[in-house]
C-alpha cells in the first residue's frame, strides 16, 4: 500500500482528478485553478471550497473563534478574486463536537457574518453535523465574472511581468510567533503567563485575520488592466509561481531583492534566526494576489499603490528560478504548506 505522505498533496490531487472529463458544455474550467468556472449565459459563475480541520489547519489554543470564522470566509473570497471575479454567495457547513457551547458556535458565525458584511457576500445555506474529532469547517463560495474578465493560471506568456500585491511572509512569521508563545505557555503552566506580542500586531493580524485583495482587483479594473494569469498566495510564493508556470507552460525569473517584505516580518525572522527570503517564498497564507501582465504595461503598473514587479516570465526551457542579490540563480521549489506530511 502506498502511503499518501510518500507522494504528497499535489500528486494525490493529480491522481484523483487526472481522468476527469468535463461532459457538460456549461463546465468551462474544472480542477486546476483557484475556482471552477461555469457558464451561465451573460455571466460566468465561479465556485470554490475550503475544508478546515482543528489540529490540522488551526489551533484553538491561540486562534479566537470569531477570527477563525472571519478567516474561513475570507480565504474563500480570495479564491474568487484570484479569478478576477466577485464573490456573491457563501455556503457554510460545520462539524461540532460536544465540547463546544452554543455561544462558541455563535462566535464562529459572528466572524463569518462580519466577513460577509464587509465583502458584500450572502450566506445562503450549509449544513451542521455532530463531530467526534473536534471542529470542522467547510465553506463553499460562489462568485461571478463577465465572460471576458475571468483570469486563469494558464495565460502567462514569455516576457510578461510578474507582479504581486502587498508584502509576503508576514502571516508565516505571525504563525511562528503564536507557536512559540503557545509552547512557552504549555511548558511553564503559569496562570499569570502573558505572551510577548509587543510591536508584533501586523504579523499577528496577517495570520489571524487576513484580508482578500478586493481593492487590488478594483484598482486593476479602474485602470483597465486585466492580468494574463493570476492566483492568490495561499501555499507560498514559490509554490504559486510553479503552479502558474506549469499551467501556462512557461518558466520564470524572480528577483530576491524585489520581493516585498514588511519590517515586522524581517524583524521576526531575525529574532528566529530564520532566512527571510525563505519565509517570504514558502510561508504561505498571505492571500496576496500573484499575477502576470504584458511587458508593455510596465509604465502603467509601476506607479500603482500596493503592486510590486518582482520578475518576468521566460520560455519553459529556462525553468523557474530565483535570482539572488549577487546574481546567482537558484531553482525554485514548492516548499510551502504540505498536506499529509508525516509529523
pLDDT of residue 244: 97
Q: How much is the pTM? A: 0.91
Q: What confidence category does residue 253 fall into, taking pLDDT thresholds of 50, 70 and 90? A: very high
The answer on 239 and 159 residing in a single domain is yes
Per-residue burial over 127-150, b if 16 or more Cβ lie within 10 Å, else e, is eeeebeebbbbbbbbbbbbeeebb
Does residue 130 form part of some domain?
yes
Question: 94, 119, 146 — which closes off a domain?
Answer: 146
- Tens digit of pLDDT for each residue in 93-124? 999 999 999 999 999 999 999 999 999 999 99
Whether 111 and 162 map to the same domain: the answer is no
Better-scored residue on pLDDT, 15 or 278: 278
Q: Does residue 338 lie in a domain region? A: no
In a domain? residue 342:
no
Is 300 a domain residue?
A: yes
Q: Would 339 be classed as within a structural domain?
A: no
Q: Is residue 240 very low, low, confident or very high in pLDDT (cuts 50, 70, 90)? A: very high
Is the pLDDT at 21 greater than 90? The verdict is no
Q: Is the pLDDT of residue 337 over 50?
A: no
The CATH number of whichever domain residue 194 belongs to comes to 3.90.650.10
Q: Is the pLDDT of residue 84 over 90?
A: yes
In a domain, 217, yes or no: yes
pLDDT in tens, 51-69: 999 998 999 999 999 999 9
pLDDT value for 50:
93
> Which of 146, 166, 194 finishes a domain?
146
Same domain, 164 and 139: no
My answer on whether 14 and 105 are in the same domain is yes
Q: Are residues 111 and 189 in the same domain?
A: no
CATH number for the domain spanning 80: value is: 3.30.1330.10
Residues 171 and 315 in one domain: yes
Distance CA(321)–CA(307), nearest Å, equals: 21
CB burial of residue 255 (10 Å; 0-12, 13-18, 19+): middle
Residue 133 lies in a domain: yes
Number of domains in the chain: 2
Mean pLDDT (the chain, rounded): 90
Q: Are residues 15 and 141 in the same domain?
A: yes
Give the three-class secondary structure for 297.
helix
Q: And the C-alpha cell for 51?
A: 475544508
pLDDT of 216 > 70? The answer is: yes
Establish if 306 belongs to a structural domain: yes
Q: What pLDDT sits at residue 159?
A: 98
Answer with the residue of higher pLDDT: 197 or 108: 108
How many percent of the chain have pLDDT more than 70? 89
Q: Supply the range of the domain harboring residue 218.
A: 153-331
Give pLDDT, residue 12. Answer: 60
> pLDDT: is 21 or 111 the higher one?
111
3-state SS string for 145-158: EECCCCCCHHHCCC
C-alpha cell of 14?
Answer: 493529480
Query: 161 and 261: one domain?
Result: yes
Quick one: CA dihedral 99, 285, 114, 200, positive or negative?
A: positive
Q: Are residues 215 and 298 in the same domain?
A: yes
Amino acid at each position: 500500500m502506498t502511503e499518501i505522505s510518500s507522494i504528497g498533496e499535489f500528486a494525490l490531487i493529480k491522481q484523483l482528478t487526472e481522468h476527469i472529463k468535463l461532459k457538460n458544455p456549461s463546465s468551462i474550467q474544472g480542477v486546476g485553478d483557484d475556482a471552477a468556472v461555469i457558464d451561465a449565459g451573460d455571466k460566468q459563475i465561479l465556485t470554490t471550497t475550503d475544508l478546515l480541520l482543528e489540529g490540522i489547519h488551526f489551533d484553538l489554543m491561540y486562534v479566537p473563534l470569531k477570527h477563525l470564522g472571519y478567516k474561513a470566509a475570507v480565504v474563500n473570497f480570495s479564491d474568487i478574486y484570484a479569478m478576477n471575479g466577485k464573490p456573491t454567495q457563501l455556503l457554510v457547513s460545520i462539524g461540532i463536537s460536544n465540547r463546544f457551547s452554543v455561544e462558541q458556535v455563535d462566535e464562529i458565525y459572528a466572524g463569518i457574518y462580519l466577513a460577509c458584511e464587509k465583502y458584500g457576500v450572502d450566506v445562503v445555506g450549509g449544513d451542521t453535523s455532530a463531530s467526534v474529532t473536534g471542529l470542522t469547517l467547510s465553506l463553499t463560495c460562489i462568485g461571478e465574472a463577465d465572460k471576458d474578465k475571468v483570469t486563469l493560471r494558464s495565460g502567462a506568456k514569455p516576457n510578461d511581468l510578474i507582479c504581486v500585491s502587498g508584502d509576503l511572509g508576514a502571516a508565516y512569521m505571525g504563525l511562528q510567533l503564536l507557536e512559540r508563545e503557545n509552547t512557552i505557555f504549555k511548558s511553564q503552566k503559569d496562570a499569570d503567563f502573558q505572551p510577548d506580542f509587543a510591536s508584533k500586531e501586523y504579523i499577528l493580524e496577517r495570520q489571524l485575520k487576513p484580508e482578500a485583495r478586493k481593492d487590488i482587483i478594483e484598482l486593476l479594473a479602474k485602470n483597465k488592466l486585466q492580468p494574463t494569469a493570476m492566483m492568490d498566495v495561499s501555499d507560498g510564493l514559490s509554490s504559486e509561481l510553479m503552479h502558474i508556470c506549469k499551467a501556462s507552460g512557461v518558466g520564470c525569473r524572480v528577483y530576491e531583492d524585489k520581493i516585498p517584505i514588511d519590517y515586522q516580518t524581517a524583524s521576526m525572522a531575525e529574532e528566529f534566526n530564520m532566512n527571510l527570503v525563505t519565509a517570504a517564498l514558502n510561508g504561505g497564507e498571505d492571500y496576496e494576489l500573484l499575477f502576470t501582465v504584458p511587458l508593455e504595461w510596465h509604465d502603467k503598473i509601476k506607479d500603482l499603490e500596493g503592486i510590486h514587479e518582482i520578475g518576468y516570465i521566460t520560455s519553459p526551457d529556462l525553468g523557474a528560478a530565483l535570482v539572488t542579490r549577487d546574481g546567482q540563480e537558484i531553482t525554485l521549489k514548492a516548499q510551502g504548506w504540505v498536506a499529509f506530511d508525516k509529523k
